Structure formats: C-alpha cells, structure tokens
A and B are shown apart, each in its own frame.
Chain A
Amino acid sequence: MYTRDRTEEQVLIMRAQRGEQDAFRALVERYQAQVYTLARRMVSSPQDAEDVAQEAFLNAWRGLPRFRMDAKFSTWLYRLTVNAASDLLRRRQRTQETPLDDEDSALQLPDPAPGPEEQAQQRQRRAALQQGINALSENHRKILLLRVVSDLDYAQIGEILELSPGTVKSRLARARIELRKILRQQGNYFSDTSSNQEKGGGTP
C-alpha cells in the first residue's frame, strides 16, 4: 500500500509539474501540517511560520518542473522549508526586527483527552520547550527538528544539510545534549517529569 500511495502522489506531482494547480493544492493539503510544524518550530512566531511555510510551498511550485521523481517529495519540501526559515532568520538578524510573540500555543492540535488543568500545564511546558529550541544554535536547531519533527533519517538529513550521515549522527547527539542543558537551566520544562533528578549529572 506504500507503493500505491507513492503512485498516487507521483501522479499528483507530475500533474503539478505540468502546471495543474488542483494537483498542487492536493499536495499542499497533504503536507501543510508537516511543513507548518517544522516552520513553526524553526522560527517560533506563528506569523513568521506561516510566511515561511508559504514561501516553501511557493518555491516548490516554482521549482516543481525541475523536481526529479526518484527523489522523495517530502524531503525536498522540508529542505525548502528549512531554507526559507534560515532566510527569514537571517533577515531578522540583519534588520534587528523582533519576532512577534509566541502567543497561540492554543493552535496545538488537541491531545486525546486532557483535562483543562492538564492542558494549561502542557501548554506551559511546550512554551518552555519552544524557548529551549529557540536558544539552540541554528545548526543544532535544524538538525534536531529535521530528525524529530520531520522524522527523517540520517541520510535524508545529510542530503538536506549537505553532511555525511556520520556527521549528522554526531551533531544530533551534540544538539540533544545542548537542548537538555538549556531546558535544565531554564528550569520550567523538566520540573514535573523528573523533579527528583535535580542535577541531571551527565550534563556538561
């Protein structure tokens, strides 16, 4: 059924390559959540994330005729997303614009059955987590998000970031250690899961 799905998607891609907007829209609907989530994690503010996701899809539309069928469409899209996010972050840095506040964690897809209190708590923790992600270096952020959010393997990540799978593996380890250290320093994220592990000895 995997093959079947591929085939369906590839028909959409081929049609979109020929300029059929309906087919492209179907592809957008298929991938918008993944692309938006990745963008959102990369740039944090909802407005920026929407811009980034739109830019990524727009670039996909423009570049589709050059898309090669033996590549994976999703991987390509994530690459465009990461690139658009990097562009935006660079622009922000140059112009010293401050991104809008991360105010709408409410847009998170609802979890199965959380009570209101638990929900608030979870929102808080997720905000803390996003702050931790924001504090990562851009390289660490990219690699970790491609792995965890986009669920790509080392080789696919390596293709996007132009790194060998071995480098991906070791950089991922460093990114994770950095994230955990940041989250521990912030102190808001791990407090309820492992308050008994105050020091978290392995951290640098």
Chain B
Amino acid sequence: MRECTEYWELISAALDGALTSEEERQLEAHLATCPDCRALLEELRAAEADLAAPIAPPSGFADGLMARVATAEQEIPFTDLPQDRAPKQAARSRMKQWWKPVGTVAALAACFLLILGVGRIVNLSGVWRSNSTAGQSEPAAANTADTAPESAAAVAEEQESRESKADLPLPEEAPAAAEPIAPGNMKDAEPMDGAPAEDAVVESAASSSDAAEEPWLYLDGVLYFPTETEVMHLDNGYQLAGTLPEEAASDPALSGLEYYTDPQDPSQLYLLIDGRYQLWKTE
C-alpha cells in the first residue's frame, strides 16, 4: 500500500476540483481506509472555507484611492477612439502613405527615430477584436476602402509580460531590455481564458453600423482593419523565430533592437518594442 504522503497531492487537487476520475477513484479508495488523510482533507476544507471569506475594505477606500488617482499620471495616454468611418479610412490611408513607398526596413528606421526622437516610447499596444473563427473569412471585401489589403499598414500585436512590467516605473526603459513572452506561450498559459478572450467584443466602442463583423485592431489610438493574413496571424499568435534579413541586420538604426522574421513568411518582420513583439508588414 502506498504511503499517505503520496496522496497529499491528490488531496490538494481534490480541494481544487482538479482530479481526473481515475484519481478520484484512487483517492476515494485510500480515504475509505485512512482516517488520517480524511481528517487532513476535512480540516483543510474547513480552513479554506474560512480563508475565502471576503473582508470588507475600510469605508472610504475608493474615495481615498481616487484622490490619489486624480494626481497620478497614466503611463501613456490614449487618444480617442475614432467615432465613425471617416477616421478609419484616414487612418488606413495614413498608414499606406507611411509604408507603401518606403516599403521595408527604411520605414522601420524612420519610424523608430520618430518614436525615440520624442523622448518617450509611444504606446503601440493594441486592442485586438477578432470575430473569432469567422475571423479567417473576414469580409474584407465589404470594406469599400479596401483597395489594396496587402499594403494595409503595420499591424502590431503585443505579447509581452505586460502585467509584470506594469508596476515598473516608466516605459522609457530601453526597449530591448524588456523580456518578451511568446504569444503562443501566453495562450497556453491561459486555457481558461484564452480563446473566448479573443472574442472580446466591445460593441459600443466600435461604430458597428457597417462593420459589426469586421475584425479590428485598436492601436495607438487609431482603429485599423487588418488584412486577412494579418487576422490569421493575430488570431493564432506569432511564432517567433528566425534571423534578421540582411538589410535589416546592417541597418545601424535598428541595431540593439531585437527582431525576428517569420520562417513561414520572411516578409514579416517582428520587432521587440517596449517589451512587445510587434509585427511590421514590410511588403
């Protein structure tokens, strides 16, 4: 017969409701013959029920906090969401202007100089709104402005240990210093939350009259409509791997930044900015 200690992990998992049916059967069989382990389970159950009882915060907690909030600056302010179609188109054509002629790494360099030049890393984190499985077949054609989807701008997706960084003082730190977390891993680490979270729909935030089904990316205060390929990338998360394209490696403006290309599609260049891997479409 096994030692009691071998059942401790099962007892612990039982408290979490995390036993497989086979484990449950094993534990039941043991408990039936072992009063000590029964007592252990019961006592822990009682202790945890007590422990879980909520404790009310002191009265005025929220008031005191909000007084401090009023004088505390947010790390990076967000600009307003675009309210109608026009700004969206404007956003898109603006990005085209930016990216189409320069095309590749030169644009990245320019962008970085711009970003770094203002002395502060601009917030590039985005809110990704997918229509989930339907995302792959997104009705890009329905978007009248969609003349050239493949040139439709840079799309950034953030995968970073943002939460753990959020209590760091400021985002001015050197970009490369932050530790990335590959998106795949983030998703794996969050099975309870993963897939449905992608589906986070904020209907009232997007003007939904004509684009209710269209996936969007709220990025740096601007609403973008990613291309079909990008939607796929955003839905799946990126696999980060590969080496620098030669022209990028030789560009001094980019030295010190970490970047990767997608082995499946070398035209996709990922950059590590502010702790996030971001995709820059270079085509």
Per-position contact with A for B112-136: 1 when CB-CB < 8 Å, else 0?
Answer: 0000000000010101110000000
Total A-B residue pairs with C-beta atoms closer than 8 Å? 250
Q: Is B65 in contact with A54, judged by CB distance below 8 angstroms?
A: yes
Q: Is B163 in contact with A169, judged by CB distance below 8 angstroms?
A: no
| Binding stretch for chain A, among B71-79, B94-102, B240-248, B252-260 | B71-79
Please name all residues of chain B whose beta carbon is closer than 8 Å to the beta carbon of A172 when the two chains form the complex.
12, 16
Give CA–CA (A65, B76) in the complex, Å.
6
Q: Is A33 in contact with B54, judged by CB distance below 8 angstroms?
A: yes
CB distance from B272 to the nearest CB of A (A): 15
Q: Is A36 in contact with B69, judged by CB distance below 8 angstroms?
A: no
CB distance from A67 to the nearest CB of B (A): 7
Please name all residues of chain A whose beta carbon is closer than 8 Å to the beta carbon of B191 when the two chains form the complex.
155
Please name all residues of chain B whose beta carbon is closer than 8 Å to the beta carbon of A129 when the two chains form the complex.
47, 50-51
Per-position contact with B for A19-45: 1 when CB-CB < 8 Å, else 0?
Answer: 101001100110011111100110000
Q: Is B74 in contact with A62, judged by CB distance below 8 angstroms?
A: yes
Q: Is B43 in contact with A190, judged by CB distance below 8 angstroms?
A: yes
Please name all residues of chain A whose beta carbon is closer than 8 Å to the beta carbon of B47 when the two chains form the complex.
129, 132, 179-180, 183, 189
Count of residues in B whose CB is under 8 Å from the partner chain: 79
Per-position contact with B for A74-93: 1 when CB-CB < 8 Å, else 0?
Answer: 01100110011000000000
B9 interfacial contact with A, CB 8 Å: yes
B201 interfacial contact with A, CB 8 Å: yes
Please name all residues of chain A whose beta carbon is closer than 8 Å to the beta carbon of B81 when the two chains form the complex.
14, 18
B63: nearest chain-A partner, CB-CB: A25
B36 interfacial contact with A, CB 8 Å: yes
Q: Which B31-67 residues have a C-beta within 8 angstroms of A?
A: 34-37, 39-40, 42-44, 46-48, 50-58, 61-62, 64-66
Count of residues in A whose CB is under 8 Å from the partner chain: 91
CB distance from B255 to the nearest CB of A (A): 26
Q: Is B55 in contact with A58, judged by CB distance below 8 angstroms?
A: no
Q: Is B65 in contact with A58, judged by CB distance below 8 angstroms?
A: yes
Per-position contact with B for A102-118: 1 when CB-CB < 8 Å, else 0?
Answer: 00000111010000000
Q: Is B57 in contact with A62, judged by CB distance below 8 angstroms?
A: no
A173: nearest chain-B partner, CB-CB: B12
Per-position contact with B for A144-183: 1 when CB-CB < 8 Å, else 0?
Answer: 1101110101111011101001000110110011011001
Please name all residues of chain B whose beta carbon is closer than 8 Å to the beta carbon of A190 when the two chains form the complex.
43, 46
CB distance from A78 to the nearest CB of B (A): 10
B167 interfacial contact with A, CB 8 Å: yes
CB distance from A42 to the nearest CB of B (A): 12
Per-position contact with B for A49-71: 1 when CB-CB < 8 Å, else 0?
Answer: 01001100111111111111111
Give CA–CA (A133, B47) in the complex, Å.
10
Q: By CB atoms of chain A within 10 A, which of B5, B64, B192 has the most?
A: B192
Q: Is B192 in contact with A68, judged by CB distance below 8 angstroms?
A: no
Per-position contact with B for A132-149: 1 when CB-CB < 8 Å, else 0?
Answer: 110000000000110111
Select B9's contact among A75, A165, A170, beta carbons within 8 Å: A170
Q: Is A33 in contact with B56, judged by CB distance below 8 angstroms?
A: yes
Known: A154-B16, A172-B12. A63 touches B167 (CB 8 A): yes
Give CA–CA (A202, B3) in the complex, Å.
9
CB distance from B120 to the nearest CB of A (A): 12
Q: Is A176 in contact with B12, judged by CB distance below 8 angstroms?
A: yes
Please name all residues of chain A whose beta carbon is closer than 8 Å to the beta carbon of B15 when the two chains form the complex.
176
Q: Is B50 in contact with A125, judged by CB distance below 8 angstroms?
A: yes
Q: Is B51 in contact with A71, judged by CB distance below 8 angstroms?
A: no
Give CA–CA (A84, B164) in the complex, Å.
12
The 3 closest A-B pairs by CB, nearest first: A63-B166, A201-B36, A173-B12
Known: A68-B127, A183-B43. 4 other contacts (CB 8 A): A14-B127, A70-B197, A177-B8, A194-B39
Point out residues on A near B: beta carbons under 8 Å.
3, 6-7, 10-11, 14, 17-19, 21, 24-25, 28-29, 32-37, 40-41, 46, 50, 53-54, 57-72, 75-76, 79-80, 83-84, 107-109, 111, 125-126, 129, 132-133, 144-145, 147-149, 151, 153-156, 158-160, 162, 165, 169-170, 172-173, 176-177, 179-180, 183, 189-190, 193-194, 197, 200-204
A sample of 9 inter-chain contacts (CB < 8 A) reads A7-B200, A28-B65, A33-B54, A57-B69, A69-B128, A108-B56, A190-B43, A197-B39, A200-B40
